């Protein structure tokens, strides 16, 4: 091989590497879109895309639901998170403020800044609570609500119930519709438990299968 051709080899390898990265990235995005579209169709919901943002919208037990991707950070530190938002209507008092307890919350507790507690070690360690009424405190301690709360806490990076809206976030973007179904399951189980805590029967959730 001539020295002239040898000099072009590193450049050719670099171009090939860039093309491979672009191809793999495009393939992953196609898989994501296909998975989200299939997932939405099977649930009877709608899928849309705006730039890099994927979103599924619909009704779950007659309540508005949105599942979408959000980009956090900038530059090399940026990453995508999948976020579920579901209206809870009157499942819990509108003034209740419930969030996953962060490292910052735990740090502030060392200096005497504490949130409200329900008297359960696992729940109090997992959640930051405000505006608790005696009735709400009692509800959170019932096994039928306590277990879904702890399961949701373990399943997501962040869980919150603020102003009647349930929000659950997990890092990454699923590329299979089965993974999307698994992702939303703990949050929907929590929403169902919250609804049942009001003493009302669960409205049906109708689904339709993806067309073959």
Is the predicted pLDDT of residue 209 greater than 50, yes or no? no
Instruction: Flag whether pLDDT at 149 surpasses 50.
Output: yes
Q: Looking at the predicted structure, is the pLDDT value of residue 158 above 80?
A: yes
Quote the CA–CA distance of 143 and 210 in Å, as a whole number.
36
pLDDT bracket for residue 23 (50, 70, 90): low
Of the given ranges (53-57, 61-65, 132-136), which has the lowest mean pLDDT? Answer: 132-136
Determine which of 26-40, 61-75, 77-91, 102-116 has the lowest per-residue pLDDT on average: 102-116
- pLDDT value at residue 203: 81
Alpha carbons within 13 angstroms on the beta-carbon side of residue 53 total: 10
Question: Is pLDDT at 15 greater than 70 in this prediction?
Answer: no
- CA–CA dist 193, 161 (Å, integer): 14
* Reported confidence tier of residue 200, pLDDT bands at 50, 70, 90: confident
Q: Which of 30-44, 55-69, 73-87 has the lowest mean pLDDT?
A: 73-87
Span 87-119, pLDDT tens digits: 987 767 778 889 987 655 554 555 555 678 899
Percent of the chain having pLDDT more than 70?
A: 77
CB atoms within 10 A of CB 205: 16
* Residue range 61-76: mean pLDDT, rounded: 88
Residue 6 to residues 16, 175, 208: CA-CA distances in angstroms?
A: 16, 40, 59
Residue 155 C-beta-side C-alpha neighbours within 13 Å = 25
Q: How confident is the model over 39-49, as a mean pLDDT?
A: 95
For the chain, the helix, strand and coil percentages under 3-state DSSP, each to the nearest 5: 45, 25, 30
Side by side, the strands of the sheet bearing 97-100 are: 46-50, 53-60, 63-72, 79-87, 165-171, 158-162, 97-100, 127-130
Range of 14-23, 103-112, 138-147, 199-208 with top mean pLDDT: 138-147
Q: What is the pLDDT of residue 109?
A: 58
Whether pLDDT at 136 is above 60: yes
Higher per-residue confidence, 73 vs 21: 73
Average pLDDT, the chain: 83
Quote the pLDDT of residue 212: 32
């Amino acid at each position: 091989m001539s020295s002239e051709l040898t000099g072009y080899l590193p450049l050719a390898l670099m171009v090939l590497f860039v093309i491979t990265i672009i191809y793999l990235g495009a393939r992953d995005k196609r898989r994501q879109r296909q998975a989200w579209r299939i997932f939405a169709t099977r649930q009877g919901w709608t899928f849309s895309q705006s730039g890099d943002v994927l979103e599924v919208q619909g009704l779950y037990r007659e309540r508005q639901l949105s599942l979408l991707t959000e980009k956090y950070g900038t530059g090399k530190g940026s990453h995508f998170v999948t976020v579920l938002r579901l209206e809870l209507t009157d499942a819990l008092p509108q003034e209740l403020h419930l969030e996953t307890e962060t490292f910052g919350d735990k740090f502030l507790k060392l200096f005497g800044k504490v949130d409200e507690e329900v008297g359960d070690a696992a729940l109090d360690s997992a959640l930051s609570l405000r505006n608790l009424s005696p009735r709400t405190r009692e509800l959170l301690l019932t096994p039928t609500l306590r277990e879904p709360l702890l399961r949701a806490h373990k399943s997501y990076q962040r869980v919150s119930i603020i102003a009647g809206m349930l929000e659950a976030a997990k890092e990454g973007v699923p590329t299979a519709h089965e993974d999307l179904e698994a992702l939303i399951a703990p949050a929907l189980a929590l929403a169902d438990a919250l609804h049942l805590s009001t003493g009302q029967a669960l409205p049906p959730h109708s689904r339709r299968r993806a067309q073959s």
